[in-house]
Amino acid sequence: MPTLWLRARAAEPAPLLLTPAQTEGPFYPVALPTDNDFDLLRTGKQAYTRGQPAWLSGTVRDAGGRPVSGAQVEIWQCDDNGHYHHPADGGKADLTFQGFGRVSVDAQGRYRFRTLRPAPYSGRTPHIHVKVRLGRRELLTTQVYVEGEPRNARDFLWRRLDGEAERAALTVAFLPGEGGLRAEFPIIVAA
């Protein structure tokens, strides 16, 4: 019996690397918009037509690779002119860009947002902010960066990531696909 137990333990996969946390930043919405669904390119009946449309999707899993049932994923980002829907950004954001979205993951842990390829703003490389919640618990706040973006190497937060593995975990390719660019961002959290 002990031999079987040891073999079963040896076959367990190694825990997955947790997605690195990063600052929420100064522009998390003060008040959540009434339209806060998966489609940041449509606010009510108005469509946002600037920038490059993109789909950001992935999964939320725990360190053992299991889907985190009931998790919610939020994203927020600036419009194509580099402005957030936030009072500290001077009210310059384009009102047709939703700027914030929230979705619940499905049974397999999958999520998906329709948004735009992140745009730069003063002093920062293009990025999308991400928050994962499970009920009232905040599991992760981080940022997603664009693979191959030359501004990454000058960005103070991207440079603070601890080595290539952490940078790779937060830097994703935005590749051409149906309906716009496509980016896959898998999220691993301590649930």
Cβ burial, residue 110 (10 Å; 0-12/13-18/19+) = middle
Residue 185 neighbours by CB under 8 Å, 6+ apart = 56, 57, 58, 130, 144, 172
- Give the tens place of pLDDT for each residue, 21-80: 999 999 999 988 888 999 999 998 999 999 999 999 999 999 999 999 999 999 999 999
- Give the tens place of pLDDT for each residue, 113-155: 999 999 998 899 999 999 999 999 999 999 999 999 999 999 9
Q: What is the value of pTM for the model shown?
A: 0.92
pLDDT of residue 9: 55
pLDDT of residue 15: 87
pLDDT of residue 58: 98
pLDDT of residue 11: 60
